[in-house]
Structure 1
Amino acid sequence: MKISTILVACGAGIATSTIVAQRVESLLKENKIRAELIQCTISEVGSLQSNADLIISTTLLPKVYETPTIVATSYITGVGMEKIDQQILDLLKSE
């Protein structure tokens, strides 16, 4: 089984990306999906995205990447989290 690589990005690569990473880790564990999560800053995404299967950010990204992206602001606000969960699962299961 393939182990996906997921970038979890926020402005500083610490606070909100940690909240999102914890939510994503739980989601993946519940659904028996193996993945490596890499927390980073928004500015690091460009140099890391070529090895990633998915980019999850806490804010809009400054450009469009070839790697699928999800803006997971819902994980911070608590509104619409199930929709983001499903998007992540759909993308990872389609690989």
Structure 2
Amino acid sequence: MTTKKVLIICGTGVATSTVVAAKVRDHLAAAGIAADVVQGKVMDLLGGAPEADLIVATTEIPAAVEIPVVRALPLLTGVGQDAVLADIAARLS
């Protein structure tokens, strides 16, 4: 089993990414998906090509980033959260 890398990106890499990272980690663990979930900020993406299988973002991601992006706002509001978590798991399976 290959461990996937997921970047949780928000504006500052602190507040909202912490909430989203916890939910993503818990969901992936429950689904039996091995993943390294790492928090960061948008500026981290501008310093070169980040290595990750998926970005889960609470903010806009620059168009130059070629890694697939899942919008994470539902993980903060709770509205549509299950669908987003299912999408993340499906993309990493």
Q: Fold-level match, TM-score > 0.5? A: yes
Contact 1:7-1:49 within 8 A present in 2 as well: no
Hey, what's the Cα distance between the residues in 1 that align with 2:45 and 2:87? 20
Residue number in structure 1 paired with 2:55: 55
Count of residue pairs brought into register by the alignment: 93
Residue number in structure 2 paired with 1:87: 87
Moved over 6 A (4+): none
Contact 1:49-1:55 within 8 A present in 2 as well: no
Hey, what's the Cα distance between the residues in 2 that align with 1:52 and 1:4? 7
After superposition, the C-alpha distances for 1:31-60 in whole angstroms (9 at most, x for unaligned) are 011111111001112346531000011122
Using the TM superposition, give the Cα deviation of residue 64 of structure 1 relative to its aligned residue in structure 2, in angstroms: 4.5
Contact 2:45-2:65 within 8 A present in 1 as well: no
Residue number in structure 2 paired with 1:18: 18
Residue number in structure 1 paired with 2:78: 78
For residue 82 of structure 1, give the secondary structure of its aligned residue in structure 2: helix
Hey, what's the Cα distance between the residues in 2 that align with 1:41 and 1:91? 22
For residue 40 of structure 1, give the secondary structure of its aligned residue in structure 2: strand
Contact 1:7-1:45 within 8 A present in 2 as well: no
Q: 1:49 to 1:3 in 2, by over 3 A?
A: farther
Contact 2:7-2:39 within 8 A present in 1 as well: yes
Hey, what's the Cα distance between the residues in 1 that align with 2:48 and 2:17? 15
* Structure with the larger helix share: 1
Q: 1:31 to 1:67 in 2, by over 3 A?
A: same
For residue 60 of structure 2, give the secondary structure of its aligned residue in structure 1: coil
